[in-house]
Amino acid sequence: MQTAEQQRVETPGLVPARRRTLGRPWTTILGLSALMALLGFLGGQLLGAWYWVDESMTVGISSHPVTQIPTVLRQDGTPPLFYVLLHFWMRVFGTGEQATGSLAMIFALACVPAAFWMGSSLFGRRAGWYCAVLASTNELIIRYSNETRMYSLLALLSILATGAFLHAFVFRRRGYLPLFSVALCAMLYTHTWAVFFVAATAVALVPCLVRAPDRRRVLFDALLAFGAAGAGFLPWVPNLLYQRAHTGAPWASLPTAKELFVRPVLLLGGWTSFLILAPVGGLGVAEMVRRRRSRPSVAYGIAALIMATFLVTAWIGAHLNPGWSPRYFVAVIGSIVLVAGVALSRAGRWGLVVLIALAFISARPDGLFSEPKYGMAGLSNLKGAARSIAPRLRPGDLVMSMEPGQLTTLYHYLPPGMRYATSMGPRSDPGVIDWRDVVTRLEHADVRRNVAELVNAVPVGGHVVVATPNFIRETDLTRYFKLVNRDGRVLIQTVARDPRLVQQVVVPREGTYPVGASAHLRVFERTS
């Protein structure tokens, strides 16, 4: 017969949470500070570099009065939490790239101690350190640590919600129910893909109910936690329904069946990382399976179930309402880090070797920073291009963009007082992309008439700026981008053939496509 103390040593999940998490406080603080410094260094390489379309749009939305942000977001398709937080942040620190990106960096840095807490409080200190290392070198967290977007906040909430769920429903520590409920509600207010996390955790409740001796109490706790989160999210539901009906991600392509098998590999760091992780991590998984009746083993299986269910429900959801993007998977980063970290922590010395290899592969600077800043259609050269033509412009000049999203970035970097328009007509609020029924509006746009009316309002001596994006091959484009290309060609032809307009300059130069150039800016002057 094992003593209670022996059982606690062999089963980390039974060790008191405070002792299991803190250990030696100063050692823990120093170790976590070092990992946070590493993440800050890796993510800080691009902090404050430039805005791409989604970032400039985020700043544009957050610049509105806080009471107007929910209404403005009806044009976009995302919940309001990050925008409200950024609104107050910008009132103190300003709207510069480094100032706004610092808010995202704070949330990213917080992922490291959150991952340590999740791993150590559930599976022991070794697992906690492995999870902390993986969080500090995770490619998704690093990439979005410097972006003025909600993804680092979503990653932090995912870690907290995952850990609290396993504590509350596997280990039956009911004190974690409020944390789970609050984190879940905050996720719903941060990104629409949190709905898939809700679905994944709801499915994960089934094995919790099956093995629980107090099923009625578990069911009551689930209704209480999920119900409280749902009640908190209820005020946003009318906006959510409107967004689902009129906005979305028309730029996104539908995921193929292959994505169901390839995406887990990519989430674990790519094929190189997966081929290193799989055999050694399998040793740790085998150890967990051997102890299949222990609560830590059950918790590990349920964390893997959450990850798998999230993937399947997101794939189905992307077919019902287009919107598939790798960055959205930060909503399940908690399970990803936990599944990989715990598996390696149970694999002995080889687990440590693989952890170091994975950290090096994921965090190597050449892999992260050799490409221009990522995003829809790249959009990395607009800052420099806009500033190079700014001295030519004056208030009242017209700026037109073939791709509606680029308008938000141009609005941020061009001088104040410009007028803005797309092929669909003028934009009174160019800091926000109006995604409402955008494909239908593109199909019915009278581009020639719109351009003629806009140019007529430009006085002699005024300027017309036309932004033309550099898209990928026509065969790879969605219906949205094909329409943008079609209407954009008409737009540029109409401007170029207007005898009243004379082209002055093209940035970058005509016929050149520098690395990272996502658009050309053509400046015309009205001479008659």
Contacts of 524 (CB under 8 A, 6+ apart): 463, 464, 465, 466, 495, 498, 501, 502, 503, 504
SS3 527: coil
What backbone phi and psi angles, to 5 degrees, belong to 217?
-65, -40
Whether 365 has a pLDDT exceeding 60, the answer reads no
Q: So what's the pLDDT on residue 133?
A: 95
| Residues 398/464, Cβ–Cβ less than 8 Å | yes
The Cα–Cα gap between 111 and 122 comes to 16
Taking only the tens place, the pLDDT of each residue in 177-203 is: 999 999 999 999 999 999 999 999 999
For residue 341, give Cα distances in angstroms to 127, 174, 286. 6, 25, 14
| Residues 87/95, Cβ–Cβ less than 8 Å | no
Contacts of 449 (CB under 8 A, 6+ apart): none
| Residues 266/219, Cβ–Cβ less than 8 Å | no
Most confident of 255-269, 351-365, 401-415: 401-415
Report CA dihedral (404, 407, 409, 415) to the nearest 10 degrees. 180
Q: So what's the pLDDT on residue 199?
A: 96
Whether 322 has a pLDDT exceeding 50, the answer reads yes
Across the range 371-380, mean pLDDT stands at: 41
Question: For the chain, percent helix, then strand, then coil, each to nearest 5?
Answer: 65, 5, 30
Percent of the chain topping pLDDT 90 = 50
Largest CA distance in the chain: 98
Taking only the tens place, the pLDDT of each residue in 143-178 is: 899 899 999 999 999 999 999 999 999 999 999 999
Report residue 454 as tokens: 């806009």
Q: What stretch of H or E contains 179?
A: helix 177-188
Which residues, listed in sequence order, are joined to residue 401 by a DSSP beta bridge? 422, 467
SS3 516: coil
Which residues, listed in sequence order, are joined to residue 420 by a DSSP beta bridge? 399, 427
More confident residue, 508 or 189: 189
pLDDT tier for residue 512 given thresholds of 50, 70 and 90:
low
Q: So what's the pLDDT on residue 331?
A: 94
Q: So what's the pLDDT on residue 214?
A: 84
What backbone phi and psi angles, to 5 degrees, belong to 526?
-85, 120
Q: What stretch of H or E contains 90?
A: helix 81-93
SS3 407: helix
| Residues 255/326, Cβ–Cβ less than 8 Å | no
Taking only the tens place, the pLDDT of each residue in 88-126 is: 999 999 998 999 999 999 999 999 999 999 999 999 999
The Cα–Cα gap between 187 and 162 comes to 11
Helices then strands (H, E): number in the chain?
25, 6
Q: Map tokens 């989430």 to a residue.
A: 267
SS3 63: coil
| 416 torsion bin: left (phi>0), alpha (psi -120 to 50), beta (else) | beta
Q: So what's the pLDDT on residue 278?
A: 83
Q: What stretch of H or E contains 468?
A: strand 463-469
Across the range 468-475, mean pLDDT stands at: 62
Whether 11 has a pLDDT exceeding 80, the answer reads no
Q: So what's the pLDDT on residue 513?
A: 53
Q: So what's the pLDDT on residue 280?
A: 85
| Residues 133/310, Cβ–Cβ less than 8 Å | no
Whether 314 has a pLDDT exceeding 90, the answer reads yes
For residue 164, give Cα distances in angstroms to 1, 37, 284, 304. 32, 26, 23, 15
Q: State the amino acid at position 387 in one-letter form.
A: R
Which residues, listed in sequence order, are joined to residue 224 by a DSSP beta bridge? none
Contacts of 345 (CB under 8 A, 6+ apart): 119, 123, 124, 126, 127, 129, 130, 284, 351
The Cα–Cα gap between 316 and 203 comes to 15
Whether 460 has a pLDDT exceeding 70, the answer reads yes
Strand 463-469: give its sheet, edge to edge. Answer: 425-427, 419-422, 398-401, 463-469, 519-526, 501-507
Q: For the chain, what's the residue count? A: 528
The Cα–Cα gap between 387 and 125 comes to 51
Across the range 15-38, mean pLDDT stands at: 75
User: Is beta strand 425-427 parallel, antiparallel or unpaired with respect to 501-507?
Assistant: unpaired
Whether 134 has a pLDDT exceeding 90, the answer reads yes
Q: What stretch of H or E contains 131?
A: helix 125-136
The Cα–Cα gap between 280 and 350 comes to 7
pLDDT tier for residue 405 given thresholds of 50, 70 and 90:
confident
| Residues 524/463, Cβ–Cβ less than 8 Å | yes
Q: So what's the pLDDT on residue 511?
A: 56
Ranges of H-type helices in 249-405 = 259-267, 271-290, 295-320, 333-345, 348-363, 365-369, 382-389
Q: So what's the pLDDT on residue 103?
A: 96
Question: Which domains occur in the chain, in start order?
Answer: 14-369 (no CATH), 382-526 (3.40.50)
State the chain's mean pLDDT as an integer.
85
More confident residue, 188 or 279: 188
